[in-house]
């Protein structure tokens, strides 16, 4: 059985070959994960949160040296680099919210709060 990856939000699920990294899987699913270093663990832009079971991210290879060095304690919070984490089983991955979208959402929420006061 081929491993599958589910990307949140959006709930897109696709089957991938074992050994495919999350960045490649996202591209296959037409999901944009920003990166500047070409997948070499240099820019840290491709951080994602992986849902875990028993404290171990399900369906991914353990973090390598580059990932441990770059992320440090963030690994304990389920944060991984999409360019380094390879799929070996089923995994659920949460993508961070786009900063521009987050700013717009916060502005709209503040506006809605002001409108509800009247």
23 touches 17 (CB < 8 A): no
Alpha-carbon gap, residue 65 to 105, rounded angstroms: 37
Report percent pLDDT > 70 for the chain. Answer: 89
Locate 77 and state its tokens. Answer: 């919070």
**What does the pLDDT read at residue 39?**
80
Q: Express each pLDDT in 37-92 by its tens digit.
A: 888 888 888 899 887 544 455 788 899 998 999 998 988 888 899 999 999 888 88
d(CA 3, CA 91): 8
Q: Average pLDDT of the chain?
A: 83
Confidence band for 118, pLDDT divided at 50, 70 and 90: low
Pairing of strands 47-50, 79-81: antiparallel
pLDDT at 105 over 80: no
Percentage of the chain lying above the pLDDT 90 cut: 23
Single pTM value for the model: 0.75
How is residue 75 annotated by DSSP? Answer: G
The answer to whether residues 24 and 7 touch, using CB atoms and an 8 Å cutoff, is: no
């Amino acid at each position: 059985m081929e491993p599958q990856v589910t990307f949140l939000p959006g709930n897109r699920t696709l089957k991938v070959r074992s050994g495919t990294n999350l960045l490649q899987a996202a591209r296959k699913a037409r999901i944009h994960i920003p990166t500047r270093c070409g997948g070499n663990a240099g820019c840290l832009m491709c951080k994602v949160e992986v849902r875990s079971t028993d404290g171990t991210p399900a369906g991914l290879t353990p973090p390598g040296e580059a990932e441990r060095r770059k992320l440090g304690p963030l690994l304990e919070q389920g944060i991984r680099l999409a360019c380094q984490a390879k799929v070996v089983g089923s995994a659920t991955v949460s993508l961070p919210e786009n900063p521009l979208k987050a700013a717009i959402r916060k502005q709209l929420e503040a506006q809605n709060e002001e409108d509800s006061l009247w």
